Homo-oligomer: A and B are copies of this chain.
């Protein structure tokens, strides 16, 4: 669990400047349960910072990724970011296609996967997509 304070402290300890914009960015991700695209971030931040530029958003997303605060995932629709999960417990995710909310899955299929002897496994990806309870209700509610 990353709080705004933890993120800010981590930035500061690395000699990075803690600007208003970065604090807001930290808060945005600390409060978001799921994935955000650079555009999502730009739009949210733009409400507070008029004249905000896309390149600053990208720069700060990259900074926070290198800091280990954010993790980046590539989806069909493009790149998205979320708070980095606590690293020690390896796990996967259920991802809501509507709101981007993620649930952890503790089950890892890798342990049961038979791999040819001569194939050296480096990494794997297991993601489940669908609709969370809330979004599912909203969807059926709007259907006449």
Q: Is A58 an interface residue (CB 8 A)?
A: no
A118 contacts B132, C-beta separation under 8 Å? yes
Given contacts A105-B113, A107-B112, A133-B116, contact A124 B127 (CB under 8 A): yes
In the bound assembly, the distance between CA atoms of A124 and B118 in angstroms comes to 27
Chain A residues touching B, range: 20 to 34
Residues of B within 8 A of A126 (CB): 109, 124-126
Q: Is A67 an interface residue (CB 8 A)?
A: no
In the bound assembly, the distance between CA atoms of A16 and B108 in angstroms comes to 44
Interface string of A68-91 (1 = CB under 8 A from B): 000000111000000000000000
- Residue among A94, A110, A112 having the largest count of chain B Cβ atoms under 10 Å: A94
In the bound assembly, the distance between CA atoms of A128 and B116 in angstroms comes to 12
Q: Is A130 an interface residue (CB 8 A)?
A: yes
Q: Is A114 an interface residue (CB 8 A)?
A: yes
Q: Is A47 an interface residue (CB 8 A)?
A: no
B121 contacts A128, C-beta separation under 8 Å? yes
In the bound assembly, the distance between CA atoms of A118 and B101 in angstroms comes to 13
B122 contacts A97, C-beta separation under 8 Å? yes
B130 contacts A119, C-beta separation under 8 Å? yes
In the bound assembly, the distance between CA atoms of A74 and B125 in angstroms comes to 12
In the bound assembly, the distance between CA atoms of A120 and B97 in angstroms comes to 10
